[in-house]
Chain A
């Protein structure tokens, strides 16, 4: 029982990453691996900032800007230099590994001795655990509302159309280089904020904390879509957030059941592989039903 609040809290903090992955993977139709670098970049930037005495919200804002810049780099590589999007993301991700080490000065920074966004408010009346839940909820709510609004605007619609049909949107006067870069910038900003929040909640930033984040993001997106639907953009956003919560719950349950934590990434990868191949199996099942 005492696992419920931490599970939901982690799910909320990681759902910002899931929304970021949703924006590239579903809206732009690009598998953007930059997240593996921009997530620890957000963590590193915020951690270094906090240790330098910044206000936690300032640290998160600067982390977001750092994430945006990494999105610009990937976007530049794949639009202006015509490097395939998957490879462009890998290049940025690898480059960010070195950048993150520079930002932190070493491979790991502890945040146990500094004020974070989770312990400067509430004046000690609320436990740190509940604070994470509350702050996470506020961040997710704001992000959800802003994303829903933005992707409903003219610019947002142009980004959505870019992911759907580049010929169509260019024939309607939109520069697809700009919309792709913009999508990557927004996505990686959210991923970096997610990294900044997770680092503060866990009490440390580590240069290796980005490993597997793309798969965690994909798992959340797909679980959410399968369980909660994709009828409209609003529905998709809610599904992705709930998907992140369900993913954390599944992880908590299998760990509780005795799965060694070292096998977590293997488990997640298998989960995502099964989920991604669902359409194929669903098609085969349908066929069998028709013929049999």
Chain B
């Protein structure tokens, strides 16, 4: 049991440093704003997603391996990276036709 707890602590303690500035993304009228967003490549960063709609949305991306519900009127944090330079698609799971975006890591 002590080994297990120590291992868990080690898993949490290790890791890459976070970029200084968070990246901001909004959901309005079931669309992402901006729909094309630039992020730093090669570093871990925090993406803040704010839902300005009255209904929930789910930030989802197979490319980024993340999915997280954003309650109406609230902001959530998504930890991403380090990403290789390139483009990564994301969608709003609850409004897939309109909530689409691309994250460009450079």
Asked if A pairs with B, the answer is no
